[in-house]
Structure 1
Amino acid sequence: MIVAAQGIPSLPDLTQANQIMQFGGEILRLFLILVGLVGVLGVAIALLSFSLSYLRRDAPEPGIFINEWVVRYSALLRGLQHTALVLTILIAGFFLCTTLANRYHFWEQARVTKVAASVAGDRLEQIAPQVRYTIQEPYSYNTQVGNRLVRVQEQRTVNRFLALTGSQIQVNIMQVSDPQKDDRHIYLADFTAEYQLVNRLKDTDQFFLEVPPPNGYSLLQNFKVEQNGTRLQPNNPGEYTFPFSLKPNTETRFRVTYQAQGGPRWVYNANGQLLSNFRLSVLANFPNADFASGVVPTEAKVEGQGTRFTWIFDDNVSVLNPFGVFTATGTIRNTGILPRLLLLAPAIFLWWLLLLYFSIPMQLKDVALTGGIFFATILALTYLSRIINPQLAWTMISLVLLVLTWGLGRNLLTSLAAIICTITGAILPILGLLVTYSGLTLSLAGLLSAVWLAVRNWYGFYQLNSRS
Structure 2
Amino acid sequence: MSFSTQGVPGLPDLTHPTELIQFGTDVLKASLLLIFLIVALGVAIALLSFTLRRHQPEQLIFIGEWAVRYSQLLRGLQHLTLVLVLLVVGFFLCSTLGNRYHYWEQAKVTQVNQSVAGDKLEQVAPQIRYVIQEPITYTNQVNGKIVKVNDTQQVNRFLTLAGSQIQVKLDQNTDVQGRSAVYRIDYSADYKVVNRLKDINNFFFEVPPPNGYSLLSNYKVERDRIRLEPTNPGNYNFPFSLQPGQETTFRVTYKAQGGSRWVYSATGQLLSNFRLTAIANFAAADFASGIVPNEIKTDARGTQFTWIFDDNVSVKNPFGVFTNTNPIRNTGIIPRLLLLAPAIFLWWILLLYLSLPMSLKNVAIAGSIFFACLLTLTYLARFMNAELAWTMISLILLILTWGLGLTRSASLAAIVCTIAGAVLPVFGLLVSFSGLTLSGAGLLSAVWLAVRHWYGWYGLQLDDFKK
Q: Give the alignment partner of residue 207 of structure 2, picking from 180, 193, 211.
A: 211
Which whole-Å CA distance do the structure 2 matches of 1:11 and 1:387 have between them? 25
Q: 1:305 to 1:437 in 2, by over 3 A?
A: farther
* Residue 288 (structure 1) shift: 1.3
Cα 1:40/1:65, change in 2 over 3 Å: closer
Task: Quote the residue 1:13 is aligned against.
Answer: 13
Q: Is the 8 A contact 2:164 2:274 kept in 1?
A: yes
Cα deviation digits, residues 143-167 of structure 1 (max 9, x gap): 2223432211111111111111111
CA distance in 1, matches of 2:445, 2:3: 44
Contact 1:120–1:184 (CA under 8 A) maintained in structure 2: no
Residue type matched to 2:101 in 1?
Y
Taking every aligned residue pair, what percent have the same amino acid on both sides?
A: 64
Displacement after TM superposition at 1:14 (Å): 1.6
Aligned pairs for 1:41-440 within 5 A: 41-51=41-51, 54-57=54-57, 60=58, 64=61, 67-116=64-113, 121-178=118-175, 181=177, 184-440=180-436
* Paired residue secondary structure (1:217): coil
Is this contact kept in 2: 1:6–1:109, CA < 8 A?
no
Tell me, in whole angstroms, the C-alpha distance in 1 between the residues paired with 2:53 and 2:75.
23
Q: Tell me the distance in 1 between the aligned counterparts of 2:51 and 2:301.
A: 93
Q: How far apart, in 1, do the equivalents of 2:198 and 2:374 lie?
A: 82
CA distance in 1, matches of 2:323, 2:167: 19
Moved more, 236-245 or 123-132: 236-245
Give, as a single letter, the amino acid of the residue that structure 1 aligns with 2:16: Q
Contact 1:8-1:102 within 8 A present in 2 as well = yes
Q: Could you tell me which amino acid in structure 2 is paired with residue 129 of structure 1?
A: P
Q: TM-score, normalising length from structure 1?
A: 0.92
Amino acid at match of 2:413: A
Q: CA deviation at 1:208?
A: 1.1
* Residues in 2 aligned to 1:415 and 1:4: alpha-carbon distance in whole angstroms: 45
Contact 2:49/2:63, CA 8 A, preserved across alignment: no
Contact 2:45 2:66 in 1 (8 A): no
Q: For 1:3 and 1:86, how far apart are their aligned partners in 2?
A: 33
Q: Which residue of structure 2 aligns with residue 441 of structure 1? A: 437
Aligned partners of 2:316 and 2:211: how far apart in 1? 17
Question: Structure 1, residues 26-83: CA drift from partner, whole Å, max 9, x if none?
Answer: 22222332332232123123223444554324xx4x7645644554444334323222
1:299-355 alpha-carbon deviations (Å, 9 max, x no partner) = 211144211111111121111111111112232333322221111111001011111
CA contact (8 A) 1:119 1:185 kept: no
CA distance in 1, matches of 2:164, 2:3: 40
Partner SS state of residue 212, structure 1: coil
**How far apart are the structure 2 equivalents of 1:318 and 1:118?**
28
Structure 1 residues 76-110: Cα deviation after superposition (integer angstroms, max 9, x where no partner): 34323222221111111111111222222223333
Question: What residue identity is the alignment partner of 2:329?
Answer: R
Secondary structure of 1:238's counterpart equals: coil
Which amino acid letter does the alignment assign opposite residue 86 of structure 1?
A: V
CA distance in structure 1 between the aligned counterparts of 2:26 and 2:114, rounded to whole angstroms: 41
> Are the equivalent residues in 2 in contact too, given 1:6–1:106 (CA < 8 A)?
yes
- d(CA) in 1 for partners of 2:341 and 2:217? 59
Aligned partners of 1:284 and 1:306 also within 8 Å? yes
Cα 1:250–1:408, aligned 2, differ >3 Å: closer, same or farther? same
Residue identity matched to 2:227 = R
In 2, the alpha carbon distance for the partners of 1:66 and 1:221 equals 98
Unpaired runs of 5+ in structure 2?
none
Q: Aligned in 2, Cα 1:164/1:335: closer, same or farther, shift over 3 Å?
A: same
Which amino acid letter does the alignment assign opposite residue 251 of structure 1? E
Q: Which moved more, 1:372-381 or 1:44-53?
A: 44-53
SS in 1 for 2:457: coil
Preserved contact between residue 52 and residue 66 of structure 1 (Cα < 8 Å)? no
- 1:279 deviates by 0.8
CA contact (8 A) 1:361 1:465 kept: no
Cα distance, 1:120 vs. partner?
A: 6.9
Q: Alpha carbons of 1:55 and 1:67: their partners in 2 closer, same or farther (altered >3 Å)?
A: farther
* Secondary structure at the counterpart of residue 202 of structure 1: coil
Which range moved further: 3-12 or 94-103? 3-12
CA distance in 2, matches of 1:163, 1:395: 64
TM-fit CA distance, 1:183: 5.9
Could you tell me how far apart the structure 2 residues matched to 1:3 and 1:92 are?
A: 25
> What is the Cα deviation at residue 373 of structure 1?
1.7
The separation in 2 between residues aligned to 1:28 and 1:65, in whole angstroms, is 34
Partner of 1:34: 34
Query: What is the DSSP-based 3-state SS (H/G/I as helix, E as strand, rest coil) of the residue aligned with 2:7?
Result: coil
- Cα distance 1:2–1:132, how it changes in 2: closer, same or farther (>3 A)? farther
Amino acid at match of 2:150: Q
Q: Distance in 2 between matches of 1:83 and 1:54?
A: 37
| 1:229-273 deviations in Å (ceiling 9; x for gaps) | 222222223221111111112222111111111111111010011
Structure 1 unaligned spans of 5+: none
- Size of the alignment, in residue pairs? 464
* C-alpha distance in 1 between matches for 2:398 and 2:277: 60
What is the identity, as a one-letter code, of the residue corresponding to 1:220?
L
Letter in 2 for 1:108: E
Q: Displacement, 1:290?
A: 1.2
SS at match of 2:6: coil
SS at match of 1:283: strand
